[in-house]
Every structure is written in structure tokens, then in C-alpha cells.
Amino acid sequence: MVRVIMHGCNGAMGRVITGLAAEDQELEIVAGIDVNPGPDQGYPVFPSLNDCDVQADVVVDFASARAVDGLLDYCEAHGMPLVLCTTGLSEEQVRRVGSASEKTAILRSANMSLGVNLLMKLVQDAARVLAGAGFDIEIVEKHHRRKKDAPSGTALALADSINSAMEDQYRYTYDRSHRSEPRDPGEIGISAVRGGTIVGEHDVIFAGTDEVITFNHTAYSRAIFAKGALSAAKFLAGKEPGLYDMADVVGL
């Protein structure tokens, strides 16, 4: 049985993960961390990891970027494996993740769903064929009105996947309102839409002369991310220090 500490247990994703974990025979959430009050989840909740006295095998994080520094400090100091799902990290925090992974196992992914991680591989293959044929590449992501970071971590991860397949020849463009000129073929355009209760939708568009190919992923509920996080927790428990991602979990 894998023992989990849920970091951000009273948030929307924390509650979804708690519900699914209750049905999982291989995993148990033994404690939660949250500064905000919430309903009784069936396990003790502490305001910080330093206050938690419950033994566990792995931390699953769905909190906020401002809580990541303390989270990394704790996991590094205690050799605690960490499934890091929070997005919107600063460049300094991303570097900090890398250094902390030298001391403990960290799985960081911009998106925890199986479908999105398969999509990252598919768009790499498409870019190798289409970019050389002159196709332009655009990414459009849509999320609910309460999402704070833009563009989404998933949109950036999709762009990074394409760029890595193409030897980093592209730069990213987030806003064209300040310029009046034709599109630069060396750019990947990334656009963000915020509204309503959209869980998450990503389109990767390859636009050529007289034809367009679009790869789309639509999330209809947060459950797909919760399932991925639980699979990641079971995968990561007991692993050697290092930096892992969902491709390791799903075998891509």
C-alpha cells in the first residue's frame, strides 16, 4: 500500500484525487496539507508539511506556485518523493526542481493525462514531417475563468515537445497586437482563452498551403488528471533520486 500526503487537499483537484483514492486498493491518502479550511476528508489535515507527523511514501502536489519553494525544501531535506503537478512555476523554481531531484525522486508534468502525453509524442512526429514542408504551427489552449497562469503549462509543454524534435529552431510568440508584419515562419504562436468552466482544451494546428491538420485534446472532467496523479504516485514511491515525467509512467 502506497501512503500519500495530498498537498493542496482542499482545492478542487485535491478533492477529486481524494475521492478516487478512496476507491484505489493500492494507495491510501494518509494526510493532507492545506492552509484553507475544508470538509472532513477522512484523514488529518495540517497547515504545512513541517507540521505533519504522519509517515508517508510520496507527496502529491496540486496546490499553487507560491507554495512550491517550501514543498521542494521539505521533500529534498526528507528524501520524500514528490509528484509535482502545480503549473505556472518561475524559471528559478524550475531550476530548483532540477537541483532537488538530485536528492529525491521528483515527477513533474505539465499535464497528468494519458491522452495529452500521447499527444506530445504525436505532434513531434507531425512536426518532423510538416515543418519541413512549410507548415506553420499554432497552439490554442482554453481553460476556465479561474485559471491564473497563461499560457497553460500544457500548451508550453506541447510547444517544447515540438521544438525539441526540431532542434530548438522555433521561438514562441504569445501576442501579435504590437506588430504589423507577416507571420515569422520561425515562430510557434501560442494563444490562451479563459472563460466559463472549461476544464481544458488544446489544439495544435499545422497550417500549410491549402490544407490544415489539427490535433485536439479535450478534457471533460478533472478526473483524468487525478487518475494520472495517482498512477504517478504509485510509480514514484521507492524510486531513486531523479527527475521523471508522465512519459515514464505510461511507457512512451
Domain span including residue 33 = 2-108+222-250
Q: How far apart are CA 193 and CA 177, in angstroms?
A: 16
Return the pLDDT at 88. Answer: 82
Which among 64, 62, 17 has a CA at the least distance from the CA of 42?
Answer: 17
Catalytic residue among 7, 103, 121, 143: 143
Supply the CATH number for residue 140's domain. Answer: 3.30.360.10
Task: State the pLDDT confidence band at 30, using cuts at 50, 70 and 90.
Answer: very high
Same domain, 228 and 196: no
Residue 65 has what DSSP assignment?
Answer: G
Q: For residue range 175-195, list pLDDT tens digits in order.
A: 999 889 999 999 999 999 999
Task: Tell me: is residue 85 an annotated ligand-binding position.
Answer: yes
CB 26 within 8 A of CB 82: no
Task: Tell me: is residue 12 an annotated ligand-binding position.
Answer: yes
Task: Tell me: is residue 191 an annotated ligand-binding position.
Answer: no
Catalytic residue among 142, 147, 202, 217: 147
Q: For residue range 88-134, list pLDDT tens digits in order.
A: 889 999 999 999 999 999 999 878 998 999 999 999 999 999 998 99
Same domain, 7 and 101: yes
Same domain, 7 and 55: yes
- Indicate the number of domains in the chain: 2
Task: Tell me: is residue 153 an annotated ligand-binding position.
Answer: yes
pLDDT averaged over the chain? 95
Catalytic, 147? Answer yes
Helix (H) or strand (E) holding 131: none
At residue 193, what is the residue type? Answer: V
Considering the entire predicted model, what is its pTM?
Answer: 0.81
Supply the CATH number for residue 94's domain. Answer: 3.40.50.720
Q: How far apart are CA 74 and CA 78, in angstroms?
A: 6
Same domain, 56 and 85: yes
